[in-house]
Structures are given as structure tokens and as C-alpha cells.
Amino acid sequence: MNEFVTYQSEEKYAVITIVNGKANAINHKVIEGLNRGLDTAEEENKVVILTGQNGIFSAGFDLKVMTKSPESAKELVTKGSELSLRMLSFPQPIIIACSGHAIAKGAFLLLSSDYRIGVEGDFKIGLNEVMIGMTMHHAGIAIAKSRLSEVYLNRSVNNAEIFNSKQAIAAGFLDQIVPESQLMETAVKVAEMSSKLNKKAHAATKLKVRKPHLDTLKKAIELDLLSEISIDS
């Protein structure tokens, strides 16, 4: 797709991989690559496996972009929110093979997919925005509300609590964890099982189930465009 996102097409699924430095940071190029990958998967009518690098799924938005100016931060956050909206309404199942740490937007991608497989171990998963001085944006709250219980919503969004892989299942960021050596093998099994779903029924049911959350997210993105988004030191 580009130098930051790769696309590998298999018979029943496609693997989209984020490859952007040690933090696997999400910038404009990564979002552009992810959207291109989703375009291709949609054209090929394939289940998606989204993954990262060994030990790191993504540490979130590129802080160089986020701290450049409030305008720069808003632009990147908006594109990230629009990506989540697309993922949550994507016609094919999206499975995330969470290859390690998933922080901030990395964790929001987990909350924007259909099935999440993590790696056993002391990996950090959660929403650290308040910890680093960012008032949580409306879209982030909307995504979190749609996938986390009230207890974990407050612990995650208000308190910036970070969880290990096992805790992340209880919190709602992951569905299961496996040894690192079994991550892609398990993701492929889930993808192949998901490919047996009736595609039309899956797409229509997903939109029906998520309609209230998708409507709320669309409104939240509009509210964020009217708000200042920045990271305070």
C-alpha cells in the first residue's frame, strides 16, 4: 500500500500490516495505507487480518504531528476517527492480531474491529490520553462507550489505566490471548472461520447492531471539528 503499510492477499483473507518504526506510530501515511488496504480488501471481498510488528501493534498517533499545533493534532485525530468509523462499518469481518503493545489510537483500533487476538505477556494495552495531557476527544469517548463496560470505560478513559494482555480481555480490548508463536496461526483460523459467514447477512447485521454507536460516532467527529484538540505539557 505504501512504505508504512503492507498488504498480502490470500485465498480467503488479506493481511494488512503496519510497519512504522519502533512505536509503529500512526500518522497520515499510515492511515492512508490502511484505507488503501481496506479498499483492496473490499474490492476482493475478503476478511481482513490487521497486525503490527513483533512486540508492538501500535503506540498510537505520531506525537511529532500531535504536538506540532492544535490544527495538526485535530487533522490527524479526525482522520483517525474516520478510520475507526470505516472499520466499525466495514462489510467484511476485521480481525486484529495484536502483536504486542497497543496504546492510545492503537487501542482504539482494537475497539474498532470485530475480533481481537492478543499475545500473552506483560504488554501494555489501553488509553493513555489523559496521562499525557490530552483531554479525550468526543470520538474517542464514543468508540470507548460502544465497546467497554461502564466500569472499564471510567478506568480507561478518565483514569488512563493501562492493562496487560490478560486484563485487556476483561476490559474489552481483546477477545483472547495466545502464545506469540500462535498469534498469526490463530488469526488465520478465525479469518477462515469468518469467511464462511454469509457476507451480505454479516454486513447488514453489523450495521443494524452498531447503528446507534455509528450515529453517535459521526456526531462526535463533527463535535471534534468544532473543538480544540491538543496535548498539554
Residues 6+ positions from 152 with CB-CB distance below 8 Å: 170, 171, 172
Query: By the 8 A CB rule, do 14 and 50 touch?
Result: no
Q: What is the pLDDT of residue 13?
A: 98
Q: What is the pLDDT of residue 2?
A: 82
Q: What is the pLDDT of residue 233?
A: 60
Provide the 3-class DSSP secondary structure of residue 99.
coil
HSE (CB half, 13 Å, CA atoms) of 233? 4
Query: By the 8 A CB rule, do 41 and 14 touch?
Result: yes
Give bridge partners of residue 13 from the DSSP assignment: 47
pLDDT at 91 over 80: yes
The answer for 118, left when phi > 0, alpha when psi is -120 to 50, beta otherwise, is beta
Question: What is the per-residue pLDDT across 158-200, written as a single tens digit (0 to 9) for each?
Answer: 999 999 999 999 999 999 999 999 999 999 999 999 999 999 9
**Mean pLDDT in residue range 207-230:** 96
Residue 83 parent element (H or E): helix 70-88
Residues 6+ positions from 131 with CB-CB distance below 8 Å: 160
Question: What is the per-residue pLDDT across 12-21, written as a single tens digit (0 to 9) for each?
Answer: 999 999 999 9
Question: How crowded is residue 152: how many other Cβ atoms within 10 Å of its Cβ?
Answer: 20
**Mean pLDDT in residue range 96-102:** 98
**Mean pLDDT in residue range 53-72:** 95
**Mean pLDDT in residue range 126-147:** 97
Average pLDDT taken over every residue of the chain: 96
Q: What is the pLDDT of residue 232?
A: 79
Q: Which residue reads 461502564 in cell numbers?
A: 150
**Mean pLDDT in residue range 138-163:** 97
pLDDT at 25 over 90: yes
pLDDT at 1 over 80: no
The C-alpha angle with vertex 4 and arms to 93 and 8, in degrees rounded to 5, equals: 45
CATH for 5-194, options being 3.90.226.10, 3.30.360.10, 3.30.1360.120, 3.40.50.300 = 3.90.226.10
Distance linking the first and last C-alpha atoms of the chain: 35
Query: By the 8 A CB rule, do 147 and 137 touch?
Result: no
HSE (CB half, 13 Å, CA atoms) of 215? 6
Domain boundaries of the chain, sorted by first residue: 5-194
